[in-house]
C-alpha cells in the first residue's frame, strides 16, 4: 500500500501544493496546510477506492484542511490580541482556549500537540512533523520528508525544535497528563539530586517558580531557555503514558 500511495502522491503532489498555496494566500500557511494534507492522505489512503481520480480525492482533503486551518487562524486572531500582555498584566483572565480538555487514551500526545498549536506554542508545521513521527515510528526522516515534500533533515530539525516547546506546554498547562503536580514535584526533587546532569540553580529556580508555584509573572532574563532545559531534565524522571 505504501508503494502505491507514494506513486500516486508523486503524480499529484505539485498540483495539491499549488492549490494549498493559492487557497492560503501565503507560502507559510500554504506549506503548513500542504503538510497536513499529506499526512491525512497517507492515513486515509486505505479508504481510497478509486471511485474518482486520486487528484480529486487529494484535493477534497486539501479543501477540508484549508477550511479548518484558516478558520482556526481567524478565530485565534480574534481571540488572541496579545496573550503575552495578558499573561503579564492580567494572568487570571487568560482565555480558556489555552486549556482545552484532553483525553488520556493513546491519542493524548497528539491531542496535546494540537492544543499547543491552538495556544500558539507550536506551529502547524511542527505539529504535522510530530504527527508523522508518531504515525510512522519505523520510517526514516528521509521517508517522512518525502511524504511531506520536505528535506529529511528539515523534518528532524522541526521535530527537535517542537519537542522542548511541547514539554513546556505540558508542564505549564496540562500537568495532569504528567501525573499531576505531586508527581512532578517528586520528579523535580529527583532531578535536583541526581549526579548525572542535575538541574542547575537557574533551571531549578525557573522550574519552581513557573511550574510548581504556577507563577505567570516570572520574567528573569533567559528564563525561557532555562525552563526548556529544566523540563527536559525533569520529564526523564516521570513515567509517561
Q: Which domains, from first to last, does the chain contain?
A: 1-79 (1.10.1740), 103-176 (1.10.10), 179-241 (no CATH)
Which parts of the chain register pLDDT below 70?
1-2, 72-107, 240-241
According to the model, what pLDDT value does residue 29 have?
80
* Contact between residue 136 and residue 144 where contact means Cβ atoms under 8 Å apart: yes
Taken as a whole, the chain contains a residue count of 241
According to the model, what pLDDT value does residue 168 have?
93
According to the model, what pLDDT value does residue 76 have?
55
190: number of Cβ within 10 Å: 16
Say if pTM beats, i.e. exceeds, 0.95. Answer: no
According to the model, what pLDDT value does residue 204 have?
94
What's the 3-state SS for 85-136? Answer: HHHHHCHHHCCHHHCCCCCCCCCHHHHHHHHHHHCCCCCHHHHHHHHHHHHC
According to the model, what pLDDT value does residue 72 have?
65
CA distances in angstroms from 17 to 88, 110, 184, listed in the order given:
40, 24, 43
Amino acid at each position: 500500500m505504501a508503494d502505491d500511495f507514494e506513486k500516486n502522491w508523486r503524480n499529484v503532489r505539485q498540483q495539491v501544493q499549488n492549490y494549498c498555496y493559492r487557497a492560503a494566500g501565503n507560502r507559510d500557511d500554504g506549506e503548513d496546510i500542504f503538510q497536513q494534507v499529506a499526512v491525512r492522505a497517507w492515513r486515509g489512503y486505505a479508504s481510497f477506492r478509486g471511485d474518482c481520480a486520486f487528484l480529486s480525492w487529494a484535493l477534497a482533503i486539501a479543501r477540508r484542511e484549508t477550511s479548518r486551518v484558516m478558520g482556526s487562524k481567524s478565530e485565534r486572531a480574534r481571540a488572541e490580541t496579545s496573550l503575552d500582555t495578558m499573561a503579564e498584566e492580567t494572568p487570571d483572565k487568560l482565555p480558556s482556549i489555552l486549556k482545552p480538555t484532553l483525553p488520556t487514551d493513546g491519542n493524548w500526545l497528539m491531542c496535546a500537540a494540537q492544543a499547543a498549536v491552538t495556544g500558539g506554542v507550536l506551529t502547524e508545521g511542527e505539529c504535522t512533523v510530530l504527527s508523522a513521527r508518531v504515525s510512522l515510528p519505523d520510517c526514516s526522516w528521509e521517508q517522512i520528508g518525502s511524504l511531506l515534500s520536505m528535506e529529511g533533515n528539515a523534518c528532524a530539525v522541526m521535530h527537535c525544535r517542537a519537542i522542548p516547546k511541547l514539554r513546556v506546554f505540558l508542564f505549564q498547562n496540562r500537568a495532569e497528563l504528567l501525573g499531576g503536580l505531586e508527581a512532578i514535584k517528586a520528579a523535580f526533587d529527583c532531578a535536583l539530586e541526581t549526579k548525572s546532569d542535575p538541574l542547575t540553580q537557574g533551571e531549578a529556580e525557573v522550574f519552581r517558580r513557573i511550574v510548581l508555584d504556577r507563577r505567570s509573572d516570572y520574567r528573569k532574563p533567559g528564563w525561557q531557555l532555562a525552563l526548556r532545559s529544566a523540563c527536559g531534565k525533569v520529564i526523564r524522571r516521570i513515567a509517561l503514558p
